[in-house]
Structure 1
Amino acid sequence: MPDTDICILGAGPGGATAALHLANAGHRCLLLDRATFPRDKVCGDALSGKVINELRRIGESLPERLAAEPIQLPSWGIDFYAPNGRRLAVPFKPRYNAATDRSAGHISKRIHFDNFLIEEVRQRPEIDFRENVDVARHEQLPDGRWRLLGPAGEELATAKLLLVANGAQSSFARQIGGHELEPAHHCAGLRAYYRGVTGLHPDNFIELHFIKDFLPGYLWVFPLPNGEANVGVGMLTEAVSKKKVKLRERLEEMLHTHPALKERFATAERLGPVRGFGLPLGSRRRPLSGAGYLLLGDAGSLIDPFSGEGISHAMVSGRHAADWAGRALAAQNFTPEFLKGYDGAVYNRLWQELRLSRGMQRLLNYPWLFNFVANRAANNPTLAETISNMFLDLDLRERLRQPSFYVKLLLGK
């Protein structure tokens, strides 16, 4: 098995992005995944504008090629449903024209989107991509290299630098990186696919339902190609435990009894089982590197605390991991001190957004605030446009954390 400079564990969006950026820079790498692609991944399936930006950084034509694929739907915004039932439509781009503008986001099943990236990987001779490889153990040799072992103890590869992108359940992130499951910084979720859900937005707005007796959790409905929809719930693991919430029962109950949902799901057909997943949230800073390794995406606990989005953050970390892997190779320096530069680069790009999302997550404990903002925005086009712009402008999003924002709303300013 190969002895390589750079080995990437996991070929999801973070790992594939890192491999493609390394290839663009002329570096060879070994990319390993325990699955055979295409493979499914439990997720909300939404691709934000940040995903599109990261695709363009890999290759200028990638966003347009994705947009031409039948595996995706263009999405133009979010429908927020406040606890009082008020719907607040928030386009990603104010005053958009769906007929002529380039969409700000897309929705695509992970089985399709991840394979879209893998098809790019397969075209690159610099990437030695191996599927159906189960890395069971990792050992660091006296010279600092990592040895990867299979289930029977067989040696799979050795590498000077590991880019660990093998997901939220990464044993490496737990055992070596020290990322323990923290209920206050972890989300429990369920996802199911449905066909025949009625009342979906004509421009494929994704739906977030903040149902009063389900807070601080939320329910989502994301439209998909072929008349399907991704439907699920998410709630902080700490709250699930404290409130003794049975997520599967509550999901079924809300879909069939809640006034905003029951008619729309009356004749809908569930496709396959309800599947669960856990999300390590980026609501506190954790170390992302150590001796000879970097943690990417979900393995680095970089998931947005408010929206649960992880794809774009995985791709951002993959880009920076490729950059710092190249620097480490050039300097032949794989020490924790040197690789700390990767942590700085990732958090310099993501921390403000993660911090603001943590603040917005805390707003879920105050349903009256959601109702208040939704009621005001429904009657105030300027406020509605401001909230729309918050998805593009972090300085505007900062206002949601400031009491003065709500005082001005109260006074009608």
Structure 2
Amino acid sequence: MREVDICILGAGPGGATAALHLANAGQRCLLVDRATFPRDKICGDALSGKVVMELRRIGADLPGKLAASPMQVPAWGIDFFAPNGRRLSIPFKPTGGSTDVVGHVAKRLDFDNFLLEEVRRRPEIELLEGVDITRHERTAAGRWNLASTDGAVEISAKLLLVANGAQSAFVRQVAGHALEPAHHCAGLRTYYQGVTGLNPASFIELHFLEEFLPGYLWIFPLPNGQANVGVGMLTAAVSSKKINLRERLHEILATHPALKDRFATAERLGPVRGFGLPLGSKRRALSGEGYMLLGDAGSLIDPFTGEGISHAMVSGRHAADWAAQALAANNVAPSFLRQYDAAVYRRLGQELRLSHAMQRLLNYPWLFNFIANRATNNPTLAATLSSMFVDLDLRERLRQPSFYLKLLFGGKL
């Protein structure tokens, strides 16, 4: 039986970030994952500027190490494709005159291992790989007794940081979170070699096709001429419209006028794999007696963009902070740990609410077409669309009726 103060379940971006911040504070922890790294994680593979900011909070040298790595390509902008096919090519603009890369695209196989390599360097972190924790018991002494499926590993922990996904046994059985189709996205992802027509500056592509609304098809460039190709759609919509996403994705890539020639000679690398995205469109409890939920375990994915990596890292940073404070106060009661919930939602709450409102706008393809048509000849609007991914004030404007009235009648945006 290992006895520890802090045990972290899940060594993805949320769990690894929490462990590294704890190590930076001089706090030891045990980090456990059922996989052995490097391991694949089904995802869109895009790393936003918020990921870069969270890396910098862990260590000032990490953004540079990522940028210098051959595992990634720098992403310098977004190509939006409206339902009517109108293309908006919008470059990212670094703030403050910086020339740093705003975003990257890297396979999760590589990026998660990039973080794990930082974990391995820290003597404050004990890492257990290939250990699937399935038993979680709360003792009368106020500790968590954990055990692996085979019983070979047993752990006693004062505080649990749960970062092992929305469908983990702990999240379902202890935290009581259930899959809700109205707040969940169904996704597919595969890799291709030789997709033509990619932006030479490695812009990521978001195709808002009517067939997949509310949701979108993406094409994200990767090193060595590869691309991450996938689709995400609200689970409730998939069910109500009776869509077979796998068949529909294959059909769209083969027949859509804007895509069929680009994929005509492309080679698919491996299978099309499915995954679920627990969306932050509903505020859920992120803590309880002796535990905190991080990343997907807390359903923190952006409802509009599908971004989850940076949100997992944000929650990991705050979880490390409040874990240290809980130990110092010798208090892991729900009333104390709710301060973690408050910290996470102070940082992400407004963004998640605005993104949920924008997700609902995807039900009106004519509105997207209207905005795209206007933005073609309106640099201010084009810049607004770009900035909505990083600027909450501009994202707020996009959900206000006055914005569209000004757009319609030529007022100042």
Q: Which bin holds the TM-score, normalised by the shorter protein?
A: over 0.9
Query: Which of 369, 386, 397 is residue 384 of structure 2 equivalent to?
Result: 386
Give the whole-Å Cα distance in 2 for the aligned partners of 1:132 and 1:214.
37
Conserved? CA contact 1:94–1:388, under 8 Å? no
Q: Do structure 1's residue 250 and structure 2's residue 269 form an aligned pair?
A: no
Instruction: Report what 2:160 is aligned to.
Output: 162
Alignment of 1:133-172 (within 5 A): 133-154=131-152, 156-172=154-170
How much has 1:377 moved relative to structure 2?
0.5
Moved more, 70-79 or 163-172: 163-172
Give the whole-Å Cα distance in 2 for the aligned partners of 1:62 and 1:405.
39
AA at the equivalent of 2:218: W
What percentage of residue pairs aligned between the two structures are identical?
Answer: 75
Give the whole-Å Cα distance in 2 for the aligned partners of 1:233 and 1:394.
25
Question: Per-residue CA shift, 1:124-156, capped at 9, x if unaligned?
Answer: 000001101110111111111001112134552
Q: Secondary structure at the match of 2:261?
A: coil
Instruction: Report what 2:284 is aligned to.
Output: 286
- TM-score, with length taken from structure 1: 0.97
Q: Secondary structure at the match of 1:407?
A: helix
Gaps of 5+ in 2: none
Give the whole-Å Cα distance in 2 for the aligned partners of 1:178 and 1:230.
33
Instruction: Report what 2:272 is aligned to.
Output: 274
How much has 1:389 moved relative to structure 2?
2.5
Instruction: Report what 2:71 is aligned to.
Output: 71
Alignment of 1:233-248 (within 5 A): 233-248=231-246
Conserved? CA contact 1:94–1:385, under 8 Å? no
AA at the equivalent of 1:379: N
Alignment of 1:33-48 (within 5 A): 33-48=33-48
Q: Do structure 1's residue 199 and structure 2's residue 228 form an aligned pair?
A: no
Give the whole-Å Cα distance in 2 for the aligned partners of 1:96 and 1:328.
37
Conserved? CA contact 2:131–2:153, under 8 Å? no
AA at the equivalent of 2:409: L
How much has 1:169 moved relative to structure 2?
1.9
How much has 1:388 moved relative to structure 2?
2.1
Gaps of 5+ in 1: none
Instruction: Report what 1:301 is aligned to.
Output: 299
Q: Do structure 1's residue 125 and structure 2's residue 123 form an aligned pair?
A: yes
Q: Secondary structure at the match of 1:365?
A: coil
Instruction: Report what 1:224 is aligned to.
Output: 222
Q: Which 4+ runs in 1 deviate beyond 3 A? A: 94-97, 152-155
AA at the equivalent of 2:33: D
Instruction: Report what 2:21 is aligned to.
Output: 21
Query: Which of 166, 174, 177 is residue 175 of structure 2 equivalent to?
Result: 177
Give the whole-Å Cα distance in 2 for the aligned partners of 1:150 and 1:178.
21
Conserved? CA contact 1:209–1:220, under 8 Å? yes
Question: Per-residue CA shift, 1:86-115, capped at 9, x if unaligned?
Answer: 001222217999xx9211000000000000
Question: Per-residue CA shift, 1:17-59, capped at 9, x if unaligned?
Answer: 0000000000000000000000000000000000000000000
Conserved? CA contact 2:94–2:100, under 8 Å? no
- TM-score, with length taken from structure 2: 0.97
Q: Secondary structure at the match of 2:362?
A: helix
Instruction: Report what 2:60 is aligned to.
Output: 60
Conserved? CA contact 2:136–2:145, under 8 Å? yes
AA at the equivalent of 1:160: K
AA at the equivalent of 1:221: I
Instruction: Report what 2:99 is aligned to.
Output: 101
